[in-house]
């Protein structure tokens, strides 16, 4: 019988290694939930699976488009359908894993109507203050530094004239995935932060700056995909905005902040899940796969 499940966890929590080990042990394929891994050439900054890992286990959601090409939730859903068909046809389990919980949430909740972004001179703070008054349910879930979702919220508000959270709830399509079993890696800061520090050092040693220089030269500083943690800071070094001496510390700080946002998102958006430290989670997942 076909089985699929999700493994969520903040950046650097070990979810990719866990998924790979499970896929090798239980004849599985992996669908990456990482927003950066979809891009070709962004390898070190995305902590993308190695070439050997990609050969040993079939991966979906990796190396799909160039950094200057658009990739949407709809594109991800198409990739999910390909992964599911492949797994079902080849009698494999499907492991959906990554830190971009937004993709998974969209598939489990249904897609919202497409609303084009509006142009505004309002700052993030001003939009967030407006959302506090108009739509406190939204404001309670998202950060006032989340430029992407604040602009989406404001665009829906201006175009529809309705409270965005209510508008989205009442106008969603049918969910793509129903009743998905979700496992979450619990990674408190005292456990995760040292892992982030070590991973940042390894990324820099592995040539993060050279990768960034190549990408910015090829795609330019306005490329949205390059405005991500790790690459953004490298771009600021290359453009002379910050000193190279500050690079490592800034990436570590911003990655720790990202992990905190991810934990908050998982907690608020995925209520029915099994959460445990990674050392315990493998056993829980093994029981689920085996039907115990």
Q: What residue ranges do the domains of the chain occupy?
A: 4-110+173-290, 124-170
Place of tokens 């080849």: 90
pLDDT at 185 over 70: yes
Binding site feature residues for ATP: 9-16
How does pLDDT run across 7-16, given as a tens digit for each residue?
999 999 999 9
The pLDDT score that the predictor gives to residue 169 is: 85
The pLDDT score that the predictor gives to residue 46 is: 96
Confidence of residue 271 (pLDDT cuts 50, 70, 90): confident
Beta strand extents in the chain (DSSP E only): 4-8, 28-32, 59-60, 93-98, 181-185, 274-276
Backbone conformation region of residue 271, classed left if phi is above 0, alpha if psi is from -120 to 50, else beta: alpha
Q: How far is CA 263 from CA 101, 180, 187, in A?
A: 10, 19, 9
Confidence of residue 292 (pLDDT cuts 50, 70, 90): low
Binding site feature residues for substrate: 11-16
What's the mean pLDDT when you consider all of the chain? Answer: 94
In what side-by-side order are the strands of the sheet with 28-32?
59-60, 28-32, 93-98, 4-8, 181-185, 274-276
- Spell out the residues 6+ positions from residue 72 whose beta carbon is closer than 8 angstroms to its own: none
How does pLDDT run across 209-233, given as a tens digit for each residue?
999 999 999 999 999 999 999 999 9
Confidence of residue 17 (pLDDT cuts 50, 70, 90): very high
Contact in structure between 233 and 250 (CB atoms under 8 Å): yes
Binding site feature residues: 9-16
Provide mean pLDDT across the span 227-242.
96
Predicted structure pTM score: 0.84
- Spell out the residues 6+ positions from residue 113 whose beta carbon is closer than 8 angstroms to its own: 171
**4-110+173-290: CATH superfamily:** P-loop containing nucleotide triphosphate hydrolases (3.40.50.300)
Provide mean pLDDT across the span 75-102.
96
Contact in structure between 156 and 132 (CB atoms under 8 Å): no
């Amino acid at each position: 019988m076909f089985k699929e499940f999700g493994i969520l966890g903040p950046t650097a929590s070990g979810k990719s290694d866990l998924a790979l080990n499970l896929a090798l042990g239980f004849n599985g394929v992996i669908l990456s939930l990482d927003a950066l891994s979809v891009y070709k050439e962004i390898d070190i900054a995305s902590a993308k699976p190695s070439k050997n890992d990609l050969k040993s286990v079939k991966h979906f959601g990796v190396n799909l488009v160039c950094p200057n090409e658009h990739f949407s939730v709809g594109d991800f859903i198409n990739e999910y359908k390909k992964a599911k068909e492949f797994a079902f046809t080849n009698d494999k389990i499907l492991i959906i894993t990554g830190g971009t919980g937004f993709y998974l949430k969209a598939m489990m909740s249904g897609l919202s109507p497409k609303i084009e972004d509006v142009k505004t001179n309002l700052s993030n703070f001003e939009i967030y203050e407006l959302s506090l008054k108009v739509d406190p349910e939204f404001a309670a879930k998202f950060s006032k530094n989340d430029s992407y979702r604040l602009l989406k919220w404001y665009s829906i508000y201006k175009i529809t004239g309705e409270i965005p959270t209510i508008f989205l709830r009442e106008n969603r399509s049918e969910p793509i995935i129903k009743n998905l079993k979700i496992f979450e890696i619990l990674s408190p800061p005292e456990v995760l932060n040292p892992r982030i520090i070590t991973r940042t050092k390894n990324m820099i040693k592995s040539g993060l700056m050279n990768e960034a220089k190549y990408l910015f030269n090829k795609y330019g500083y306005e490329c949205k995909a390059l405005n991500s943690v790790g690459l953004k800071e490298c771009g600021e070094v290359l453009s002379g905005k910050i000193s190279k001496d500050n690079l490592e510390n800034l990436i570590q700080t911003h990655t720790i902040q990202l992990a905190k946002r991810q934990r908050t998102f998982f907690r608020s958006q995925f209520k029915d899940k099994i959460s445990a430290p990674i050392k315990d989670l493998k056993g829980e997942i093994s029981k689920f796969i085996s039907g115990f």
